Structure 1
Amino acid sequence: MASVHAMLSGGVGPDGSTDAARVAEDGVKALEVLRRSISVDVHTHGGPQGIYSPAPPNGSLAAGMRAGSLAAVCLSEIPDEPLLGRNAAGITGITRLPSPDELYRHHLERLAWADEMVAHHGLQRALTAADLVSAHTAGQPALIGGVEGLDFLEGKLERLEEAHQRGIRSAQLVHYTPNDIGDFQMGMVTHEGLTAFGIEVIRDCHRLGMVVDVAHATEKTAKAAAKVSTKPLLLSHTALAGCRAMASARLAARQVTPDHARAIAETGGGIGIWAIFPDLDKYVEGLKEMVDVAGVDHVCVGTDQQVAPGALQDYAQWVNLISAMLRGGFTAEEAGKIAGGNYLRIFRAAVG
């Protein structure tokens, strides 16, 4: 899709055509939603030049966010990234076990990468809900620090406090590497859910002021987390099991059942839908499927950018996503909730 600025300047369809007029009208409505409501991608790696790549920090992330009127992203670093590879079926997993402190050192390197982005490349750091609101009001792209998997802790809770001091505000419990917190989807079940240490981790996240993210966790682990959590949980990137609109069934094991999703919603939390769809209209179908199960107050956008095939490869398209939501039947209020309002509520309750 063309950017909204091209839409509004008549860059789509012949001048005066019905299609051009309709696209322009959709763009105006979408921009009005984004003016009134904060927008947040609740789980991203920042695209092909982001934190999940060897590229040095640069301004492309902030530029794309500005072009699409996206207020904030939860930019997630991946401590076990050095261990990951794909098998013959294209499924991600670890290729070896980590050496002592290897994931901790990689985690510190990625924190420094994010510090550089904030210092020199057009992003401000969001440490509180007030920071998110002010970023939206000022039109200044904001970065929420996230970590995808707490494998770097290695049983040391003081490392969680250190991560908080360095700006991390969203902590995903598990990823692809076995740890002493709980079991993860697509991995061998070793704990039968959440461990005693995992409970300590959740309680410490609550104490420090961090969103607890149960993406990648098994249903049993996520439900156990929901029972002990006193604040809303986030399941940042997934889709409903059996989703018909997805572009690929490759990650079917990473999708969640209705009961799994409802357990998160019952904490007051939210479920982010990833962008593994062939186009934005199909993505909206995926949002609708989760809304039907968990309710419109408990669904978010968590693109997991950069994924392929993916419906949102460029943040300049964010406003087009809002247009697709409106075109697909969501009201302006509902689109605003999904695009960021629900996450702001979760973030405010968990972080302050």
Structure 2
Amino acid sequence: MRAGSLAAVCLSEIPDEPLLGRNAAGVACLTRLPRLGELYKHHLERLAWADEMVAHHGLQRALTAADLESAHAAGHPSMIGGVEGLDFMEGKLERLEEAHQRGIRSAQLVHFTPNDIGDFQMGVVTHEGLTEFGAEVIRDCHRLGMIVDVAHATERTAKAAAKVSTRPLLLSHTALAGSKAMASSRLAARCVSPDHARAIAETGGAVGIWAIFADLDKYVEGLKEMADVIGVDHICVGTDQQVAPGALQDYAQWVNLIAAMLRGGFTSEEAGKISGGNYMRIFRAAVG
């Protein structure tokens, strides 16, 4: 992180990780359904791992916007606690507050496992969008001070979330459907349409472009594809960086990413927005 001049990263735990495998195309997929309490147990284990990283490996937690500003000013590596899929809740809203108390500040509603919140891309549609419980979860995220991340959600779920939300939404990792710059088409089902992206932008939020591009110049083209649809104020660098093929395998490459943005036609102000400023705006509005 220091080599890449990176002050903070979103470190997300994956409650349904024990259930995941790869299909014939090498894409992550669900291999079985969870046992009762299994995902909650794994969630708690990953929270304990994050505690270990803070206690013994020099990372600090960013729990407020002021923490992020301090980390940036001091150049000290910090992490924003995230969770990729709220499947661990098992219908128990109090587990969301518990996660917040343990340092989680970004809550992705769905992942690969069916839950009672909403439908997910690459899954069977069972709810026809966001459920009433899902709406309640969003309202509780607002109450607690957590970013609502609609990555992996179907377009219908994401648009319903946008109607419920009173804070900017984040769609943390995707690309524009039909991207000419993306290295692989095997994850086309995880990309989003222009209307899907606009629904997020209209909340004041942002769409993160993941790093599944052949090189940094192609990645910048992917950023520009989305910027042409929703504007520079509503895009950011996506999560899920250590992927193959991928243009950002190491945090040290971030300085090269900024150089590629400038080389690709973004101004220094625009590069600043994409590399952290837009996310900071969302974090401040959602978390405080």
Smaller-chain TM-score range?
A: over 0.9
Listed one character per residue, the Cα deviations across residues 277-332 of structure 1 (whole Å, up to 9, x for unaligned) are: 00000000000000010110000001412210000001111000000000000000
**Residue 34 of structure 1 corresponds to which residue in structure 2?**
none
- Aligned residue identity for 1:116: E
Residue 216 of structure 1, CA deviation: 0.1
Which residue of structure 2 aligns with residue 275 of structure 1? 211
Structure 1's unaligned 5+ residue stretches are 1-64
2-side partners of 1:156 and 1:273: how far apart? 32
Distance 1:179 1:297 in 2: 32
Alignment correspondent of 1:29: none
In the alignment, structure 1 residue 178 sits paired with structure 2 residue 119: no
- The whole-number CA distance in structure 2 between the counterparts of 1:68 and 1:90 is 29
Alignment of 1:197-208 (within 5 A): 197-208=133-144
- Is the 2:4–2:254 Cα contact (8 Å) retained in structure 1? yes
Question: What secondary structure sits across from 2:54 in the alignment?
Answer: helix
Residue pair 1:77, 1:146 contacting (<8 A) in 2 also: yes
The aligned residue for residue 330 of structure 1 is 266
Cross-structure match for 2:226? 290
Given the alignment of the two structures, is residue 256 of structure 1 paired with residue 218 of structure 2, yes or no? no
Q: Distance in 1 between matches of 2:55 and 2:68?
A: 18
Superposition map of 1:90-129 within 5 A: 90-129=26-65
Distance 1:177 1:261 in 2: 23
| Partner in structure 2 of residue 313 of structure 1 | 249
1:133 is matched with which residue? Answer: 69
Counterpart-to-counterpart distance in 2, 1:143 and 1:249 = 31
Whether contact under 8 Å (1:123, 1:143) holds in the other structure is yes
Q: Deviations over 1:252-295 (max 9, x none)?
A: 00000000000000000000000000000000000000001011
Identity of aligned residues (%): 88
Aligned residues: 288
Counterparts of 2:54 and 2:161, CA distance in 1: 32
SS of residue paired to 1:289: helix
1:71 Cα deviation from its structure 2 partner: 1.1
Residue 348, structure 1, aligned to residue 272, structure 2: no
Conserved? CA contact 1:144–1:168, under 8 Å: yes
In the alignment, the residues of structure 1 paired with residue 204 and residue 239 of structure 2 have an alpha-carbon distance, to the nearest angstrom, of 21
- Note the C-alpha offset of 1:243: 0.4
**3-state secondary structure, aligned to 1:190:** coil
1:80 aligns with 2:22: no
Letter in 2 for 1:99: R
Unmatched 5+ residue regions in structure 2?
Answer: none
Please give the per-residue CA displacement for 1:117-153, whole angstroms capped at 9, x wherever unaligned: 1111121100000000000000001100000000000
Secondary structure, counterpart of 2:266 in structure 1:
coil
The answer for the alignment partner of 1:167 in structure 2 is: 103
Q: Deviations over 1:156-197 (max 9, x none)?
A: 000000000000000000000000000000000000000000
Letter aligned with residue 48 of structure 2: A
Q: 1:20 matched to which residue of 2? A: none
Q: Give the SS at the match of 1:68.
A: coil
DSSP-derived class of the 2:179 partner: coil
Please say if residues 303 and 312 of structure 1, whose CA atoms lie closer than 8 Å, have aligned partners that are also in contact.
Answer: no
> What root-mean-square deviation, in Å, do the aligned CA atoms of Structure 1 and Structure 2 show?
0.5
- What displacement does 1:89 show? 1.8
What SS does structure 2 have at the residue aligned with 1:183?
Answer: coil
Q: Secondary structure at the match of 1:115?
A: helix
- Would you say 1:154 and 2:90 are equivalent positions? yes
More moved, 269-278 vs 295-304: 295-304
1:238 aligns with 2:209: no
**Contact 1:164–1:210 (Cα < 8 Å) also in 2:** yes
* Aligned partners of 2:10 and 2:239 also within 8 Å: no
SS at match of 1:144: strand
Q: Is the 8 A contact 1:206 1:350 kept in 2?
A: yes
SS of equivalent residue, structure 1 residue 145? strand
Match of 1:35 in 2: none
Amino acid of the structure 2 residue aligned with 1:348: R
Q: Read off the aligned partner of 1:334 and give its amino acid letter.
A: E
